[in-house]
Copies of this chain bind each other. A is one copy, B any other.
């Protein structure tokens, strides 16, 4: 590693890639070196804004010797092949969730990374959030007794943000099951820190104009009678950030805005929506400034025998028999979320710290999400018998 920092190439300059560029700027151990995107306008914006090369295709980026690691933020259906190509080129890999669209694709990615001796990190999800990691530690400390229930509610406008066609097509990784439920699953898995034993879920497709799953209820039962209850709706009616002091998911301020994404979308049709997606959410819309509050993903209540624990605006709140205690979040110099992904990669490469959110972890999250999809389709619970891949304990 030259300069003992990791040279990162960002593949895909849409929303996730744009946010990652902003996060790289906050992390001392990683430096941005290049990007790749088929969209010429985004490339031009990136080159002008960063003074770094933006390539039209992945192979050219992989041939750039300044690139030590790639961040794959391309449409999900490309993650699998792009990860295999990156491994062949000897590049470390950070791949956005969902890791891929099928479990055998995940297996091939894990095998390719192992064979090439490169790191494979999956994320960001809100399972990396500072509050979630702190709650994980508080639970693991045993100070609050046995873990029992993890409850999550998130009502957002997810489905009504401007979208590319594949983002509204479940078969190509669209809808909440591949894009939002992984957050809830990883929050639960991070805190439960044990294998998922069974899944029961229901899903709904409520808008024929956006024919992909937009809402979901699920129960994950973990080992040792630990359960996670999750409700998600992306239909832009109620917004649970009303319960969170109108702080946005990323930690910034938010205007009360029930229904506003739906109303805005009425002004756009077809190609205009696709354009709006790139213009308003792609590279160039993301500030390197740290947000005033911590990130969160709806409301979260974790119940142990001796305490309930919630994610607050700036802290973690613990409710015990003694009363209410506020536990501060440890300060980090980098932007939470994607900055934590970079820290995991950098810690592994420079300090040999073990990866947590590795390929096996990402594969297990996909497995749970696919089980949610199947449980809802078949109107029954599913046992998750296969266990060996579930190493996050």
Chain A contacts to B: CB under 8 angstroms: 145-146, 148-149, 151, 153, 155, 197-198, 200-202, 204, 206-207, 215, 217-219, 221, 225, 227, 229, 231, 233, 235-239, 243, 258-259, 262-263, 301, 303, 305-308, 310, 319-324, 379-381, 383
Contact = CB atoms under 8 A, between A and B. Distances in A.
A200 B319 contact: no
Contact of A233 (B149, B218, B236, B383): B149
A294 B314 CA distance: 33
Given A197-B379, A380-B381, A207 B305 contact: yes
Contact of A146 (B202, B206, B262, B307): B206
Given A151-B153, A151-B217, A262-B321, A308 B229 contact: no
A145 B208 CA distance: 12
User: Which 7 residue pairs across A and B have the least CB separation, nearest first?
Assistant: A381-B381, A238-B308, A237-B308, A200-B200, A202-B227, A217-B229, A206-B305
Contacts of A236: 321
B322 A259 contact: yes
Contact of A379 (B149, B155, B198): B198
Contact of A308 (B155, B217, B381): B155
A319 B155 CA distance: 11
A63 to B, nearest CB: 48
A322 B308 CA distance: 36
Contact of A319 (B215, B221, B238): B238
A160 to B, nearest CB: 9
A301 to B, nearest CB: 6
Contacts of A153: 151, 153, 301
A47 to B, nearest CB: 39
Contacts of A217: 149, 151, 219, 227, 229
B320 A237 contact: yes
Contacts of A310: 238
10 contacts: A148-B206, A149-B202, A149-B231, A219-B219, A219-B229, A231-B301, A237-B306, A237-B308, A238-B303, A238-B319
Given A202-B221, A262-B321, A321-B263, A233 B381 contact: no
Contact of A225 (B204, B225, B238): B204
Contact of A259 (B218, B225, B229, B320): B320
Nearest to A201: B219
A237 B380 contact: no
A380 to B, nearest CB: 6
